[in-house]
């Protein structure tokens, strides 16, 4: 197949569209690879790329883009080392999008940049692997979903738990009736920090010594942020999760993974209400930390179909780690640290429940690596699924719509917390209102 023909094929292949024509071209033995451009090559971008290389035969990174010169150089180096080719380098993502050799892009920049980058990428006809949360607000996410559906491009949101074999197993077990009726999920994410370590507090990552307004392109970082006049601040640039303009902290960084996976396992969609509370209790201004987002956060969600999700996150103690517990009338399915799954049958006077769909259920303990042979948390398989969707061979497991449904609870929690009010979501009008 000619280069132009190959690109046309990749560009016109929609999320679900395993068209007859496409299948014929694949069957004809075209050795097509997706030509990927990578926008944002910080910690997540580099990790996803590295794990994506498990499917080396499906893609090559032909271009990388980052506003911080140090991370751009690292990305080029990683492509040369693992991919064995030399990618083009860009500082301006619009120039990368204008490159006709790029079929698809991965976007792993800070949250406030997802919207403008995803919209521009879709307009440029590119498929996208878009890190979570899909966008910084509900309204922005809705526009991405609408445009993705209109132009028929593949969007895979970076909620990789969906590609984690433990959650897939949990979903099967739940659907087989192992847990009985489930009206309640408990989800949590706890962390703690050694104040003498290189990262002494949540999201206070190490800042490169050479960081300056010039080599980070501060203006481009601020694009899409609420306040464009903030003077250069390397804390904001490298530790952006701590500030509302670029992130919603726990709610969109951690919680969205967990509402997403609860939806996936239990076949739920969006909640109808949320009450959130919390605060900055650990790393206060008095202790010299200017973070704006809470380090202690709880949210209670009601769903329209007799279901409640109880969420908590705290950065002052990590005894219980992180995970989700799907609490059914006949048993509990829990996934901890994305690595272990446990099933505990309920006992009634020492016996299993009468309603059980599967008799004689025993406790079950699975280790993702040892028992299911999955080396990472699902990231490698998530990228593979994206590439296969670009090639028209699979359907994306985390399309834009699923990413938006995952993010809405995060945004509702932020709005409830900031307004100190219970918030309600009307799924028909796609609007929220307060009590």
Please count the CA atoms within 13 angstroms of the CA of 63 that sit on its side-chain side: 23
* Residue 41 interacting with ligand NAD (CB under 6 A): yes
Q: Any idea of the CA torsion for 414, 418, 419, 421, to the nearest 10 degrees? A: 50
Interface segment toward ligand NAD; rule CB under 6 A; list 102-110, 263-271, 283-291, 384-392:
102-110
* Residue 103 interacting with ligand NAD (CB under 6 A): no
Burial 359-370 (b: 16+ CB within 10 A, else e): eebeebebebee
Contact 104, 10 (CB under 8 A): yes
Task: Choose between 41 and 55: whose C-beta lies nearer to ligand NAD.
Answer: 41
CB 305 to ligand NAD: min, Å: 27
CB 78 to ligand NAD: min, Å: 13
Interface segment toward ligand NAD; rule CB under 6 A; list 39-47, 293-301, 334-342, 415-423:
39-47
* Residue 38 interacting with ligand NAD (CB under 6 A): no
Please count the CA atoms within 13 angstroms of the CA of 331 that sit on its side-chain side: 29
- From 253, 324, 330, 334, residue interacting with ligand NAD (rule: CB under 6 A): 253
Task: Choose between 54 and 272: whose C-beta lies nearer to ligand NAD.
Answer: 54
Interface segment toward ligand NAD; rule CB under 6 A; list 33-41, 305-313, 367-375, 401-409:
33-41
Residue with tokens 């560009």: 11
CB 105 to ligand NAD: min, Å: 11
Burial 204-242 (b: 16+ CB within 10 A, else e): bbeebeebeeebbbbeebbebbeeeeeeeeebbbbbbbb
- From 14, 34, 36, 39, residue interacting with ligand NAD (rule: CB under 6 A): 39
- From 32, 58, 61, 111, residue interacting with ligand NAD (rule: CB under 6 A): 111
Burial 107-118 (b: 16+ CB within 10 A, else e): bbbbbbbbbbbb
CB 223 to ligand NAD: min, Å: 6
CB 93 to ligand NAD: min, Å: 5
Task: Choose between 62 and 300: whose C-beta lies nearer to ligand NAD.
Answer: 62
Q: What are phi and psi of 377, to 5 degrees?
A: -75, 5
- From 15, 105, 106, 113, residue interacting with ligand NAD (rule: CB under 6 A): 113
* Residue 65 interacting with ligand NAD (CB under 6 A): yes
Contact 144, 115 (CB under 8 A): yes
Please count the CA atoms within 13 angstroms of the CA of 92 that sit on its side-chain side: 5
The separation between the first and the last C-alpha atoms of the chain, rounded to the nearest angstrom, is 59
How far apart are alpha carbons 216 and 239 in whole angstroms?
13
The continuous run of DSSP H or E covering 185 comes out as strand 182-190
Beta strands in 280-356 (DSSP E): 296-303, 307-314, 322-328, 331-336, 340-345
Q: Classify burial at 293, counting beta carbons within 10 Å of its beta carbon; exposed 0-12, middle 13-18, buried 19 or more.
A: buried
* Residue 414 interacting with ligand NAD (CB under 6 A): no
* Residue 108 interacting with ligand NAD (CB under 6 A): yes
Helix locations, 106-212, DSSP H? 114-123, 138-151, 165-175
* Residue 42 interacting with ligand NAD (CB under 6 A): yes
- From 7, 11, 15, 40, residue interacting with ligand NAD (rule: CB under 6 A): 40
The residues in 286-325 that bind ligand NAD, with binding defined as CB under 6 A, are none
CB 8 to ligand NAD: min, Å: 27
How far apart are alpha carbons 301 and 272 in whole angstroms?
7
Q: Site for ligand NAD (CB under 6 A): how many residues?
A: 26
* Residue 381 interacting with ligand NAD (CB under 6 A): no
CA distances to 12, 345, 372, 390 from 350, in Å? 59, 10, 31, 52
* Residue 43 interacting with ligand NAD (CB under 6 A): yes
Interface segment toward ligand NAD; rule CB under 6 A; list 59-67, 185-193, 195-203, 331-339:
59-67
Task: Choose between 67 and 332: whose C-beta lies nearer to ligand NAD.
Answer: 67
Question: What letter would DSSP give residue 351?
Answer: B
Site string for ligand NAD, 114-153 (x = CB under 6 A): -----------------xx---------------------
* Residue 251 interacting with ligand NAD (CB under 6 A): no
Task: State whether the Cα torsion 93-97-99-101 is positive or negative.
Answer: positive
- From 53, 59, 93, 322, residue interacting with ligand NAD (rule: CB under 6 A): 93
Task: State whether the Cα torsion 346-348-350-351 is positive or negative.
Answer: negative
How far apart are alpha carbons 313 and 191 in whole angstroms?
8
CB 205 to ligand NAD: min, Å: 7
- From 78, 156, 160, 242, residue interacting with ligand NAD (rule: CB under 6 A): 160
Which positions lie near ligand NAD, rule CB under 6 A? Answer: 39-45, 65-68, 71, 93, 108-111, 113, 131-132, 158, 160, 220-221, 223, 253
């Amino acid at each position: 197949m000619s280069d132009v023909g190959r690109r046309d094929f990749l560009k016109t292949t929609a999320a679900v569209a395993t068209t007859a024509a496409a299948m014929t071209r694949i069957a004809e033995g075209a050795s097509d690879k997706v030509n990927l451009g990578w926008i944002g090559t910080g910690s997540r971008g580099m990790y996803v790329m590295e794990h994506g290389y498990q499917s080396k035969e499906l893609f090559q990174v032909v271009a990388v883009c980052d506003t911080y010169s140090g991370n751009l150089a690292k990305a080029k180096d990683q492509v040369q080392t693992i991919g064995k080719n030399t990618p083009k380098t860009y500082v301006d993502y619009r120039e990368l999008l204008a490159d006709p050799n790029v079929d698809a892009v991965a976007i792993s920049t800070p949250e406030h940049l997802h919207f403008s980058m995803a919209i521009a990428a879709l307009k440029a006809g590119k498929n996208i692997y878009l890190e979570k949360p899909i966008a910084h607000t509900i309204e922005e996410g809705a526009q991405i979903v609408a445009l993705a559906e209109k132009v028929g491009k593949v969007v895979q949101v970076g909620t990789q738990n969906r590609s984690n074999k433990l959650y897939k197993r949990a979903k099967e077990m739940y659907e087989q009736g192992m847990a009985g009726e489930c009206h309640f999920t408990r989800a949590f994410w706890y962390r703690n920090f050694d104040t003498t370590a290189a990262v002494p507090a949540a999201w206070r990552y190490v800042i490169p010594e050479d960081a300056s307004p010039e080599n980070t392109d501060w203006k481009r970082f601020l694009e899409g942020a609420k306040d464009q006049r903030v003077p250069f601040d390397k804390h904001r640039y490298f530790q952006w999760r701590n500030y509302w303009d670029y992130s919603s902290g726990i709610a969109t960084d951690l919680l969205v993974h967990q509402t997403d996976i609860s939806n996936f396992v239990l076949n739920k969609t969006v909640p109808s209400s949320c009450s959130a509370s919390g605060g900055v209790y650990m790393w206060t201004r008095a202790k010299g930390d200017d973070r704006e987002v809470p380090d202690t956060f709880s949210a209670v969600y009601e769903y329209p179909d007799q279901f409640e999700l109880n969420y908590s996150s705290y950065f002052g103690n990590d005894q219980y780690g992180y995970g989700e517990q799907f609490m059914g009338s006949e048993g509990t399915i829990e996934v901890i640290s994305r690595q272990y799954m446990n099933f505990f049958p309920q006992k009634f006077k020492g016996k299993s429940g009468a309603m059980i769909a599967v008799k004689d259920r025993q406790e079950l303990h699975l280790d993702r690596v040892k028992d299911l042979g999955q080396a990472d948390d699902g990231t490698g398989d998530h990228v593979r699924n994206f590439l296969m969707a670009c090639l028209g061979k699979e359907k994306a497991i985390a399309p834009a719509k699923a990413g938006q449904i995952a993010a809405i609870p995060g945004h509702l929690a932020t709005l409830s917390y900031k307004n100190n009010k219970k918030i309600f979501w009307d799924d028909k009008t796609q609007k929220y209102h307060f009590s």
